[in-house]
């Protein structure tokens, strides 16, 4: 061989060697072990591996009883199949087809995937070897020993690297404490956060939850439910745009379009924001807060800056209303600064400048207590500085007076009795004073005939159709009647007289009017 030819061969060999080193060797399926290897092209164009077969591809181990290994590195595996991925998870089945080009293993029949404390069973599974992502579409079941959860769904995906699950269609999660049904669910086993998508129901021993999106963080014991969120707990229904609950702290919050209904007490509370504290069993609602309660075909509407409820020792609820309280009922309206409603004895206490209106009558005092029976108003008690006034030239709700002459009754305290929720009579006790304008209604509109002034220790006033009808004065009464001929044109006013018709709620929406 001449020197020139030898030099050319050396150069060629160097070029070939460098090029080969520059190219990455293609990944191959490696045969690690088999008891027996056969090849019969007349049966199948593949190597037949029989007995204790062990194959390896890119760090993933495959074990089976027998296999067909094709020339393109695809293979079919049969019986007692087990895949051991690089993260330590395992997959088992009765049949497997490995597609090298797609880097996927398709498994059928008695498929079982195990990873840490999770076990997935299905009749079909597609496993991506490189990404460690598994997917089933023919129904699957997952059991977790850590949190005692069992989940079934029509289709699902599991990412072994990120440990994230995706489930779709007919998803059912069963726990000893609750059952979840939803359309789509995502679960991260690292963060232990579960996301719900689509119509979702969560049913426990006494509580059921509905939402159309939300999440639950089991590490922090926090959950949020959104879009048509609703919680039903025994006789209480709670709704809102979104619900947030911290189980460890025992605090629940509701945001937007808050709705609370007690089906046993026939009342509802609405607002913009609500909060529930389990330890004290405190509930409160703010922002356009309103309580409505049915009264035998009529409805009471009440608004305040804040509505709060607490249970009492007898098992009922105490409802507190703070600041700017306004109430409307077709035959009864009221305002005050604060209010307490005691469900057990059906009493409603009004504090700080309370005002009560019934038909043409206005009642004020330091404190007013309304007594309910069978969901109807029966009595009103006025404590200290009791004062009732009405327009003498008004009749019912259809004819309004001139607001010049006012019938007035004053005393230390009063008791007002209602029949069919219409003012029937008033009993005045202590320092009674009276200004009364008798009227003639012959022409269809009240016409003042004169004035009557009186003083006594106690009085009993009877009403007819909500209008003053009779007055009985007891204990050293003094009374002066003057006809129009002798009466002064100056309007008569008892001390502490106030006419507050401009503050009176006129309809249900008017309770939100600021004074």
More confident: 298 or 273: 273
CB-based contact 501:390 (threshold 8 Å) = no
Query: At residue 374, does pLDDT exceed 80?
Result: no
Would residue 372 count as lying in a domain? yes
**Largest CA-CA distance found in the chain, in angstroms, rounded:** 155
What SS3 class is residue 211? strand
Please work out, in degrees rounded to the nearest 5, the angle formed at the alpha carbon of residue 90 by the alpha carbons of 88 and 91: 155
pLDDT over 90 (residue 106): yes
User: Is residue 141 included in any domain, yes or no?
Assistant: yes
Tell me, what's the pLDDT at 262? Answer: 72
Dihedral (C-alpha) 373, 379, 384, 389: value to the nearest 10 degrees? 140
Whether the full predicted model's pTM is greater than 0.85, yes or no, is no
Give a yes or no: residue 15 inside a domain.
no
pLDDT tier for residue 333 given thresholds of 50, 70 and 90 = very high
Average pLDDT, the chain: 84
Is the pLDDT at 10 greater than 90, yes or no?
A: no
Instruction: Specify the CATH number for the domain of residue 95.
Output: 2.60.450.10
Q: How confident is the model at residue 458 (pLDDT cuts 50, 70, 90)?
A: confident
Q: Are 414 and 425 in contact (CB under 8 A)?
A: no
DSSP-derived 3-state class of residue 117: coil
Domain boundary among 133, 152, 171: 152
pLDDT-based confidence at residue 309 (cuts at 50, 70, 90): confident
Cα separation, 378 vs 416, whole angstroms: 8
Terminus-to-terminus CA distance in the chain, angstroms?
115
Q: Give pLDDT tens digits for 65-82.
A: 999 999 999 999 999 999
Q: What is the mean pLDDT of residues 446-472?
A: 79
- Domain membership of residue 475 (yes or no) is yes
Any domain includes 417: yes
Q: Find all residues with CB under 8 Å of 420, minimum gap 6, and list them.
A: 376
Inter-residue contact 135 to 157 (CB < 8 Å) = yes
How much is the pLDDT for 49?
Answer: 93
CB 360 within 8 A of CB 383: no
pLDDT attached to residue 136:
94
Measured CA to CA, the distance from residue 475 to residue 427 in angstroms comes to 13
Range of the domain at 363: 350-515
Distances from the Cα of 302 to the Cα of 112, 267, 361, angstroms: 60, 11, 20
Choose among 31, 26, 13: nearest CA to 69.
31
Decide if 12 is inside a domain. no
pLDDT at residue 265, as a whole number: 67
User: Given a cut of 70, is residue 23 above it in pLDDT?
Assistant: no
Tell me which residue of 460, 486, 483, 487 sits closest to 473, measured CA to CA. 460
Residues 244-262, mean pLDDT to the nearest whole number: 85
Angstrom distance (rounded) from CA 286 to CA 432: 41
Lowest mean pLDDT among 19-33, 201-215, 219-233, 235-249: 19-33
Please say whether the beta carbons of 426 and 416 come within 8 A: yes
Sequence-separated (6 or more) residues with CB below 8 Å from residue 212: 197, 198, 199, 200, 226, 227, 228
- The helix (H) or strand (E) run that includes residue 209 is strand 207-217
Among 87, 118, 152, which residue terminates a domain?
A: 152
Query: Is the confidence at residue 233, as pLDDT, over 70?
Result: yes
Q: Of 121, 152, 183, which residue constitutes the final position of a domain?
A: 152
Structural domain count, the chain: 2
pLDDT for the residue 8: 42
Q: Is 274 helix (H, G, I), strand (E, B) or coil?
A: strand
pLDDT above 70 for 396? no
* Model pLDDT, residue 1: 46
Q: Which two tokens stand for residue 176?
A: 């000893």
CB burial readout 70-101, b (16+ within 10 A) else e: beebbbbbbeebbbebeeebebbbbbbebebe
For 388, phi then psi, to 5°, come to -125, 135
Is residue 291's pLDDT more than 80? Answer: yes
Query: At which residue do the structure tokens 């504090």 appear?
Result: 351
Residue appearing with tokens 């259809």:
398
Q: Measured between alpha carbons, how far is residue 127 from residues 60, 71, 96, 113 in Å?
A: 12, 22, 10, 10
Q: Does residue 21 register a pLDDT over 50?
A: no
Q: Please report whether residue 4 resides in a domain.
A: no
Token digits for 485? 């001929």
In a domain, 510, yes or no: yes
Give the mean pLDDT of 292-307: 87
What average pLDDT score do residues 135-150 get?
A: 87
- Spell out the residues 6+ positions from residue 369 whose beta carbon is closer than 8 angstroms to its own: 347, 348, 349, 350, 380, 381, 383
Look at strands 422-436 and 332-342 and give their pairing: unpaired
Tens digits of residue pLDDT in 49-64: 999 999 999 888 999 9
What percent of the chain stands above pLDDT 70? 89
Of 110 and 295, the one with more pLDDT: 110
Instruction: Give residue 446's pLDDT.
Output: 67
């Amino acid at each position: 061989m001449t020197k020139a030819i030898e030099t050319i061969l050396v150069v060629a060999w160097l070029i070939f060697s460098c090029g080969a080193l520059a190219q990455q060797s293609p990944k191959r399926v490696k045969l690690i072990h088999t008891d027996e290897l056969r090849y019969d092209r007349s049966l199948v164009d593949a190597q037949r591996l029989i007995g204790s077969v062990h194959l390896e591809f890119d760090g993933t181990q495959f074990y089976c009883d027998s296999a067909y290994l094709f020339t393109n590195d695809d293979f079919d595996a049969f019986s007692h199949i087990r895949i051991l991925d690089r993260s330590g998870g395992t997959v088992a089945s009765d049949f497997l087809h490995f597609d090298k080009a797609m880097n996927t293993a398709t498994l059928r029949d008695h498929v079982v995937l195990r990873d840490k404390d999770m076990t997935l069973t299905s009749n079909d599974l597609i496993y991506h070897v490189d990404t460690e992502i598994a997917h089933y579409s023919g129904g699957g079941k997952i059991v977790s020993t850590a949190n005692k959860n069992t989940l079934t769904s029509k289709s699902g995906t599991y990412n072994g690297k990120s440990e994230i699950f995706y489930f779709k269609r007919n998803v059912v999660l069963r726990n000893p404490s609750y059952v979840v049904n939803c359309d789509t669910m995502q679960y991260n086993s690292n963060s232990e956060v579960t996301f719900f998508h689509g119509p979702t129901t969560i049913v426990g021993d006494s509580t059921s939850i509905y939402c159309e999106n939300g999440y639950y963080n089991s590490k922090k014991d926090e959950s949020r439910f959104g879009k048509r969120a609703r919680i039903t707990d025994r006789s209480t229904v709670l709704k809102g745009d979104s619900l947030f609950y911290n189980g460890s702290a025992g605090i629940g919050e509701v945001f937007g379009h808050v709705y609370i209904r007690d089906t046993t007490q026939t009342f509802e509370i609405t607002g913009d924001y609500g909060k529930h504290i389990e330890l004290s069993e405190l509930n409160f609602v703010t922002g356009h807060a309103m309580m409505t309660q049915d009264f035998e075909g009529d409805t009471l509407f009440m608004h305040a800056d804040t509505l709060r409820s607490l249970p009492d020792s007898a098992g009922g609820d105490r409802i507190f209303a703070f600041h700017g309280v306004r109430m409307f009922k077709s035959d009864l309206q009221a305002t005050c600064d604060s209010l307490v409603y005691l469900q057990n004895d059906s009493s409603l206490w009004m504090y700080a400048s309370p005002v009560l209106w019934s038909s043409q009558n206005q009642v004020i005092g330091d404190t007013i207590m309304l007594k309910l029976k069978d969901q109807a108003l029966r009595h009103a008690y006025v404590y200290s500085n009791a004062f009732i006034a009405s327009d003498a030239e008004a009749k019912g709700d259809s004819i309004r007076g001139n607001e010049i002459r006012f019938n007035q009754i004053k005393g230390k305290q009063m008791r007002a009795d209602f029949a069919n929720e219409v003012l029937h009579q008033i009993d005045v006790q202590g320092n009674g004073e009276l200004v009364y304008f008798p009227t003639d209604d012959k022409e269809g509109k009240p016409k003042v005939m004169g004035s009557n002034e009186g003083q006594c220790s106690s009085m009993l006033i009877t009403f007819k159709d909500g209008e003053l009808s009779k007055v009985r004065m007891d204990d050293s009464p003094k009374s002066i009647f003057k006809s129009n001929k002798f009466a002064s044109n100056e309007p008569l006013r008892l001390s502490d007289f106030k006419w507050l018709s401009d503050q009176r709620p006129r309809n249900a929406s008017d309770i939100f009017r600021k004074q």
